[in-house]
């Protein structure tokens, strides 16, 4: 089956109505997804991306029904993940010598998955082009870490189609291919869910890359993604949305999530939310039990919120495990410019609330005062919870964060296994210490002035300010702009 996209471009992908889990079980694809592959038939025949590995046989059979496989001149792989390049082994078994155009990094990841180093790879860099006849060219644009080191986009001149791969996509399945043909509310919900859960950590790169691409002044008539719809009606709308979402996005919204063994912490959550609503009826407030609710929906709500309240009772001196898991996810997503506070019920010594506060601080949130209640809250404890909600509402409404975090020297405490953490008590201490280490917000590599970086010819004791602007992160190859001060100084 094929769908006509534009002129000599056809969709030859695969719909997947029934998939419900992605990246293991990390991402719930409640609306299914599609794997978009495109066949261009100009002077040269070009295949852009393939489909998920589980559809390899159907994909190659369908493709062979459309075109003599031997007449495919070039294969372009924008990204090596198995949902896009998964059918390569099946395809290349039929056309082994066909040139594969991809980034230099993709040779590593394609070979790492398919184990065919003998394939005819042609590595490309940003600005490289490939003549496909009839006066048209494919121009390649590397997009490292959006969302793998190997990622790139391909732009087709003449037709002005941007094959954007994962960027601007969404896990959404519909018999229609184009954005103007589907339910707009569903579509934008899935776009936002996709951005919040997958792209948030890379927001600084999203902004920089979009500005770079816009700087080329290329006309864009369509954005042909690798999941979900092809944007043909006002295709720049999704590009502008990405710029908005990448800019420390938030709405007038507060999200509470918690876990609870016997509903005591839940009673607190309800009362706190009532207090918030009393003071500020215009703020959107939503409550989620992490044990019962779709995790990706909660993370999307966190993405949309100006602040979050995280609750857990104490169990064996620590917080409940699902709350800990959520905090780990939130740390990885590197939200910025948001407030947070912990709450929870306990029986004797407690412990969960303090741990949550620390974890929220480590995750880069601006912390407000916590609230603890002993055992099941009675009338006066519930009144205290409502008053807590009122105070939170007042503080978060009247005292917006003055300066976006990305513009301050306020560091994020890093707790990955590869670094040795040095706790820092106050923002002032962080400011004084900000030459100690610099964290790559994309791949977590740490620049430690004490060690320098011999590979990059930066001598030990070189402060970050003196590191050349041409410095590239050895972890992901991206420049100084994605580094933030961090509270650690030693790389193992």
Ligand X SMILES: Cc1cc2nc3c(=O)[nH]c(=O)nc-3n(C[C@H](O)[C@H](O)[C@H](O)COP(=O)(O)O)c2cc1C
Using CB under 6 A, which of 214, 375, 416, 427 touches ligand X? 375
Using CB under 6 A, which of 264, 331, 434, 444 touches ligand X? 264
How far CA 7 is from CA of 50, 134, 171, 339, in Å, comes to 20, 12, 26, 50
* Interface segment toward ligand X; rule CB under 6 A; list 16-24, 142-150, 224-232, 263-271: 263-271
Q: How far is the CB of 295 from ligand X (least distance, A)?
A: 19
> What is d(CA 96, CA 117) in angstroms, rounded to the nearest whole number?
11
Is position 345 an interface residue for ligand X (rule: CB under 6 A)?
yes
Using CB under 6 A, which of 99, 123, 350, 479 touches ligand X? 350
Using CB under 6 A, which of 61, 129, 262, 399 touches ligand X? 262
State which residue, 184 or 316, has the beta carbon closest to ligand X.
316
How far CA 74 is from CA of 94, 155, 159, in Å, comes to 14, 15, 18
> What is d(CA 262, CA 282) in angstroms, rounded to the nearest whole number?
31
Q: How far is the CB of 377 from ligand X (least distance, A)?
A: 9
* Interface segment toward ligand X; rule CB under 6 A; list 111-119, 120-128, 150-158, 258-266: 258-266
Burial call 113-130: b when 16+ CB within 10 Å, e when fewer: bbeeeebebeebebebeb
- Write out the two tokens for 201: 């950590």
* Interface segment toward ligand X; rule CB under 6 A; list 140-148, 279-287, 347-355, 429-437: 347-355
Other CB atoms within a 10 A radius of the CB of residue 399 amount to 11
Q: Residue 234: which residues within 8 A CB-CB, separation 6 or more?
A: none
334: left (phi over 0), alpha (psi -120 to 50) or beta: left
Is position 316 an interface residue for ligand X (rule: CB under 6 A)?
yes
Q: How far is the CB of 294 from ligand X (least distance, A)?
A: 21
Q: Residue 427: which residues within 8 A CB-CB, separation 6 or more?
A: 408, 409, 410
> What is d(CA 326, CA 323) in angstroms, rounded to the nearest whole number?
5
* Interface segment toward ligand X; rule CB under 6 A; list 82-90, 339-347, 392-400, 435-443: 339-347
Q: How far is the CB of 264 from ligand X (least distance, A)?
A: 3
Is position 292 an interface residue for ligand X (rule: CB under 6 A)?
no
Active site residues: 23, 79, 81, 83, 147, 166, 194, 227
Residues that bind ligand X (CB under 6 A): 260-265, 313-317, 345-351, 375
């Amino acid at each position: 089956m094929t769908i006509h996209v534009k002129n000599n471009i056809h969709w030859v992908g695969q719909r997947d109505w029934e998939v419900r889990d992605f990246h293991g079980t990390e991402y719930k694809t409640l609306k299914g997804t599609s794997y978009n592959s495109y066949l261009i038939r100009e002077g040269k025949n070009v295949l852009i991306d393939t489909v998920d590995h589980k559809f390899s046989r159907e994909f190659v059979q369908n493709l062979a029904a459309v075109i003599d496989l031997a007449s495919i001149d070039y294969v372009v792989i924008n990204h090596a993940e198995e949902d896009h390049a998964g059918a390569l082994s099946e395809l290349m078994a039929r056309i082994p010598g066909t040139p594969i155009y991809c980034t230099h990094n993709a040779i590593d990841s394609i070979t790492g998955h398919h184990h065919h180093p003998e394939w005819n790879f042609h590595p490309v860099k940003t600005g490289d082009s490939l003549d496909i006849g009839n006066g048209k060219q494919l121009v390649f644009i590397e997009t490292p870490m959006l969302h793998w080191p190997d990622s790139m986009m391909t732009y087709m001149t003449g037709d002005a189609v941007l094959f954007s791969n994962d960027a601007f996509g969404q896990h959404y399945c519909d018999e229609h291919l184009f954005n103007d043909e589907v339910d707009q509310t569903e579509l934008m919900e899935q776009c936002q869910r996709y951005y919040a859960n997958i792209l948030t950590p890379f927001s600084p790169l999203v902004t920089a890359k979009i500005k770079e691409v816009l700087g080329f002044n290329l006309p864009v008539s369509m954005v042909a993604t690798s999941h979900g719809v092809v944007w043909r009606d006002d295709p720049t709308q999704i590009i502008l949305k990405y710029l908005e979402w990448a800019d420390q996005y938030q709405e007038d919204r507060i999200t509470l999530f918690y876990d609870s063994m016997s509903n005591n912490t839940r009673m607190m959550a309800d009362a706190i939310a009532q207090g918030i609503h009393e003071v500020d009826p215009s703020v959107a407030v939503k409550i989620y039990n992490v044990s019962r609710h779709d995790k990706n929906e909660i993370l999307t709500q966190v993405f949309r919120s100006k602040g979050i309240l995280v609750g857990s009772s104490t169990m064996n001196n620590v917080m409940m495990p699902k709350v800990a898991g959520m905090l780990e996810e939130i740390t990885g997503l590197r939200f910025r410019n948001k407030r947070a506070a912990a709450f929870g019920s306990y029986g004797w010594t407690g412990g969960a609330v303090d741990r949550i506060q620390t974890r929220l601080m480590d995750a880069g949130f601006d912390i407000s005062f916590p609230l603890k209640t002993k055992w099941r809250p009675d009338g006066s404890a519930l009144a205290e919870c409502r008053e807590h909600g009122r105070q939170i509402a007042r503080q978060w409404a009247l005292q917006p964060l003055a300066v976006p975090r990305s513009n301050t020297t306020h560091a994020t405490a890093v707790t990955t296994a590869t670094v040795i953490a040095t706790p820092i008590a106050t923002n002032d201490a962080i400011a004084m210490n900000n030459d100690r280490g610099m964290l790559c917000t994309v791949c977590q590599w740490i620049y430690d002035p004490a060690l320098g970086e011999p590979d990059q010819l930066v001598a030990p004791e070189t402060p970050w300010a003196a590191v050349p602007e041409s410095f590239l992160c050895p972890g992901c190859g991206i420049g100084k702009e994605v580094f933030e001060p961090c509270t650690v100084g030693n790389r193992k």
